[in-house]
């Protein structure tokens, strides 16, 4: 009898265990002991680590404990993806748009934590169904499409002018490409320039001449005039009214013929946190993961707002008196890019699809310079087809330190302290489109320090990892005390390189660079460790776009403004011609954004 009771209790226990398992949807998870487990996975920039807490067989907490993902891009994914995993007790949750690699890394790291500690991941992989939101219709004075530098500035300015503003952004975080840059601007004509840079010889005319020269006169003169005449006021507004912490830029690049480069302390992420707070304080509304699909038109063909889709697939219709396109460039869209970029590395964001260009063209906007793409030098292919933008590090290493650019033939090919355009031109002139930066120990220390200062890498360890990266069987960086040996490792003509270094060093000893007339050349020190790092052409910024007038209203093929439509940032072409000076893309985005914000608000409010 006792045994029958025992057997009955055992059967009941088994059933109740099964019931507990079924009700939680984690029948096999019951086998996972409660506790906290660590896991890791490869993120966008390096290892991402998580700790996962299991309580009563369910995922009760996920924390990202360590990561080196990109500031300004990863934060919302790091906040939202773990919370969604816990909420759904499942790793099958959606990625945060614009941070898909970080999102996947979090999911995989959680999976690894469970599996490597004996759990069955199938119990934590239930499908998560996204409930579609109701479609909605909103009204405002100004809708701004895209929350990068151009859009954020336009939105804040229009709100400050008194307009009711809605800012929509397709990514899960504001910032666009802009958040990745150093936050530099030209300060021509500002009070700030006179006081902090002690520069009194700059003028809109001088900046105009510089921009046209670098743009090879392919610029739209009206755009260049507009930006050079207004950027001073924009800078003073940002500093005095918006309280964005600007200072003199750490590097004054030599393509500008006056001291005019300033930068945000803390780089562009600080620009966005400051401007987003201003926007909120001014009553603006920001809608993330809301992708603009088409511009709406009224019966007369004027733009009356935008139709967008939210993350759940619901339609968001925004009726607006003014619409500002600020969707950035088309560097990630091979269908829109010229074919001349084969073999160059992309370094922008995969969401740079040219949506605004397509939407603008669909309503009859004219375009300019669509074949022009900004190409930079000094990229390192740390991921296949993608470059790390190591320009500031290379520039620092070549300024007053023993470092020279050489080609695969072992020849020196450019004045190291020349403009970035000079270095780009020298790079793309090589048949294999690659240069190498040869550094002595002192130059390398500077290279590493600048990379850390600019957060190009999060630690020297990251640079050390480059030594293991090989593309086409060649490392991206190498070092050694034997110059010939490291030249051979990189596939460089070793004898020619030795001769090049000997000639350069004898020039340095004599005090004159007979080859490229570099001022005060510094020798590449013999006898220590030499470093060679690849320098590849890289691109992301497109220079062409929609055509605009001086109030930055988008115009059609007859030069007539399309009613109620404005543009800001890279979606508008012509400001920078065939090439752009350093700091000019960010200056264009933010400077045109302020003008667009004013124009859109004035129009909407009937001022
Ligand atoms: C790594 C890096 C470094 C750089 N360094 C410099 C530098 O030192 N100096 C310099 O001058 N320039 C630099 N640039 C270039 C410069 O950052 C850009 O040219 C400029 O920021 C572009 O600003 P934008 O507002 O036009 O576009 P973005 O900042 O890209 O913003 C566009 C926004 O629109 C959103 N969007 C697009 N389509 C839609 C849609 N359909 N619906 C809703 N939203 C949409 C995008 O997601 C994005 O957030 C750099 C760029 C990169 C990537």
Evaluate: CB of 184 within 6 angstroms of ligand 1: yes
Pocket test for ligand 1, best of 73, 166, 176 (most atoms within 8 A of CB): 176
Give the integer Cα–Cα distance in Å for 569 and 328.
6
Phi, psi of 104 (to 5 degrees): -65, -40
CA-wise closest residue to 210 among 599, 598, 576 = 576
pLDDT for residue 31: 57
pLDDT for residue 35: 96
CA-wise closest residue to 581 among 325, 126, 256 = 256
Q: Can you list the residues of the chain whose pLDDT is less than 70? A: 1-31
Considering all CA atoms of the chain, what is the largest pairwise distance in Å, rounded to the nearest integer? 108
Q: Which helix (H) or strand (E) holds 64?
A: strand 58-66
**What is this structure's pTM?**
0.84
Evaluate: CB of 570 within 6 angstroms of ligand 1: yes
269 Cα: distance to centroid of ligand 1 (angstroms): 13
Pocket test for ligand 1, best of 98, 146, 173 (most atoms within 8 A of CB): 146
Give the integer Cα–Cα distance in Å for 349 and 346.
9
pLDDT for residue 342: 80
Calculate the CA 577 to chain-centre distance: 21
Which atom of ligand 1 lies nearest, measured to the CA of 150? 25
Give the integer Cα–Cα distance in Å for 71 and 264.
15
pLDDT for residue 26: 43
In this structure, the chain runs to a length of 607
291 Cα: distance to centroid of ligand 1 (angstroms): 16
What does R_g of the chain's alpha carbons equal in angstroms?
28
pLDDT for residue 13: 38
Q: Which helix (H) or strand (E) holds 223?
A: helix 221-236
Contact 218, 578 (CB under 8 A): yes
Instruction: Count other Cβ atoms within 10 Å, centred on residue 72.
Output: 21
User: How far does the chain reach from its first CA to its final CA, in angstroms?
Assistant: 94
Pocket test for ligand 1, best of 543, 586, 587 (most atoms within 8 A of CB): 586
Give the DSSP letter of residue 28: G
Which atom of ligand 1 lies nearest, measured to the CA of 584? 11
The alpha helices in 325-481, defined as continuous H runs, are 355-362, 391-398, 420-428, 441-453, 460-466
Give the integer Cα–Cα distance in Å for 149 and 156.
11
Residues ≥6 apart with Cβ < 8 Å to 11: none
Q: In sequence order, what DSSP letters do the residues of 88-147 get, joined into one string?
A: HTSS-PPPPTT-HHHHHHHHHHHHHHHHTTT--GGGG----PPPPPPPEEEEEEEEEE--
User: Is CATH 3.90.550.10 the classification given to domain 27-124?
Assistant: no
Kindly list the distances between the CA atom of residue 294 and the CA atoms of 303, 358, 365, in Å, as whole numbers in the listed order.
Answer: 10, 9, 14
Residue 307, beta-bridge partner list? 294, 317
Evaluate: CB of 182 within 6 angstroms of ligand 1: yes
Task: Give residue for tokens 């000639």.
Answer: 503
Q: Strand order in 246-248's β-sheet?
A: 184-186, 261-264, 246-248
260's tokens: 């005019």
Residue 287, beta-bridge partner list? 168
What CATH number does domain 375-539 carry, 3.40.50.300, 3.90.700.10, 2.30.110.10, 3.40.190.290? 3.90.700.10
Give the integer Cα–Cα distance in Å for 514 and 522.
13
Pocket test for ligand 1, best of 96, 99, 148 (most atoms within 8 A of CB): 148
152's tokens: 């954020």
Calculate the CA 271 to chain-centre distance: 14
Give the integer Cα–Cα distance in Å for 509 and 516.
15
CA-wise closest residue to 64 among 28, 30, 32, 38 = 38
* CATH fold of the domain at 137-372+543-605: FAD/NAD(P)-binding domain (3.50.50)
pLDDT for residue 318: 98
Sequence ranges of the domains in the chain: 27-124, 137-372+543-605, 375-539
Evaluate: CB of 569 within 6 angstroms of ligand 1: yes
Going by alpha carbons, the residue nearest to atom 3 of ligand 1 is 181
Q: Which helix (H) or strand (E) holds 108?
A: helix 100-115
Pairing state of beta strands 47-55 and 35-42? antiparallel
Give the integer Cα–Cα distance in Å for 568 and 562.
15
CA-wise closest residue to 115 among 127, 124, 128, 105 = 124
The alpha helices in 174-322, defined as continuous H runs, are 191-196, 204-214, 221-236, 267-281
- Helix, strand and coil in the chain, % to nearest 5: 35, 25, 40
Evaluate: CB of 169 within 6 angstroms of ligand 1: yes
178 Cα: distance to centroid of ligand 1 (angstroms): 4
Each residue of 374-389: b (16+ CB within 10 Å) or e? bbbbbbbbbbeebbbb
């Amino acid at each position: 009898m006792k045994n029958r009771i025992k057997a009955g209790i055992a059967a009941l226990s088994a059933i109740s265990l099964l019931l507990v398992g079924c009700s939680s949807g984690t029948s096999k998870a019951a086998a996972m002991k409660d506790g906290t487990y660590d896991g890791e996975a490869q993120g966008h920039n390096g290892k991402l680590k998580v700790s996962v807490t299991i309580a009563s067989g369910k995922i009760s907490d996920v924390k990202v404990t360590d990561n080196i993902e990109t500031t300004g891009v990863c934060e919302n994914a790091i906040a939202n993806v773990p919370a969604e995993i816990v909420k759904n007790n499942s790793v099958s949750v959606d990625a945060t748009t614009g941070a898909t690699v970080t999102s996947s890394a979090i999911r995989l790291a959680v999976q690894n934590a469970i599996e490597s500690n004996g759990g069955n991941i199938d119990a934590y992989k239930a499908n998560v169904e996204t409930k579609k939101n109701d479609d909605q219709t909103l009204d405002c004075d100004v809708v701004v499409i895209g929350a990068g530098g151009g859009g954020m500035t336009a939105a804040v300015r229009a709100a400050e002018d008194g307009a009711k503003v809605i800012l929509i952004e397709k990514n899960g975080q504001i910032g666009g490409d802009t958040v990745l840059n150093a936050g530099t601007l030209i300060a021509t004509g500002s009070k700030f320039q006179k006081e902090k840079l002690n520069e009194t010889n700059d003028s809109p005319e001088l900046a105009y001449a510089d921009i046209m020269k670098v743009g090879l006169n392919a610029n739209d003169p009206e755009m260049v005039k507009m930006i050079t005449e207004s950027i001073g006021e924009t800078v003073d507004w940002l500093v005095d009214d918006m309280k964005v912490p600007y200072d003199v830029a750490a590097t004054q690049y030599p393509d500008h013929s006056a001291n005019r480069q300033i930068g945000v302390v803390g780089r562009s992420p600080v620009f966005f946190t400051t401007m987003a707070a201003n926007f909120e304080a001014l009553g603006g509304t920001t809608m993330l993961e809301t992708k603009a699909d088409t511009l709406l038109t009224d019966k007369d063909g004027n733009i009356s707002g935008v139709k967008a889709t939210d993350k759940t697939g619901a339609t968001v219709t925004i009726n607006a008196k003014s619409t500002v396109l600020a969707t950035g460039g088309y560097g990630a869209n091979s269908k829109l890019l010229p074919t001349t970029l084969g073999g160059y590395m992309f370094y922008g964001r995969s969401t740079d699809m040219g949506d605004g260009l397509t939407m603008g063209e669909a309503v009859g906007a004219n375009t300019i310079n669509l074949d022009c793409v900004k190409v930079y030098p000094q990229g390192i292919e740390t991921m296949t087809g993608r470059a790390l933008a190591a320009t500031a590090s290379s520039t620092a290493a070549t300024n007053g330190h023993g470092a020279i650019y050489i080609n695969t033939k072992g020849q020196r090919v450019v004045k190291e302290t020349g403009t970035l355009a000079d270095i780009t031109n020298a790079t793309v002139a090589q048949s294999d489109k690659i240069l190498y930066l040869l550094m002595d120990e002192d130059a390398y220390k500077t290279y590493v320090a600048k990379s850390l200062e600019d957060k190009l890498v999060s630690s020297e360890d990251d640079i050390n990892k480059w030594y293991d990266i090989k593309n086409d069987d060649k490392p991206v960086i190498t070092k050694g005390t034997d110059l010939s040996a490291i030249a051979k490792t990189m596939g460089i003509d070793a004898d020619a390189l030795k001769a090049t270094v000997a000639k350069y060093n004898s020039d340095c000893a004599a005090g004159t660079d007979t080859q490229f007339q570099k001022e005060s050349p510094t020798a590449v020190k013999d006898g220590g460790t030499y470093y060679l790092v690849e320098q590849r052409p890289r691109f992301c910024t497109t220079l062409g776009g929609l055509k605009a007038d001086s109030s930055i209203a988008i115009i059609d093929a007859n030069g007539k403004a399309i009613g109620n439509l404005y543009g800001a940032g890279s979606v508008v072409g012509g400001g920078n011609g065939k090439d752009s000076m350093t700091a000019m893309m960010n200056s264009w985005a933010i400077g045109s954004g302020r003008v667009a914000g004013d124009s859109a608000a004035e129009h909407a409010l009937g001022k």
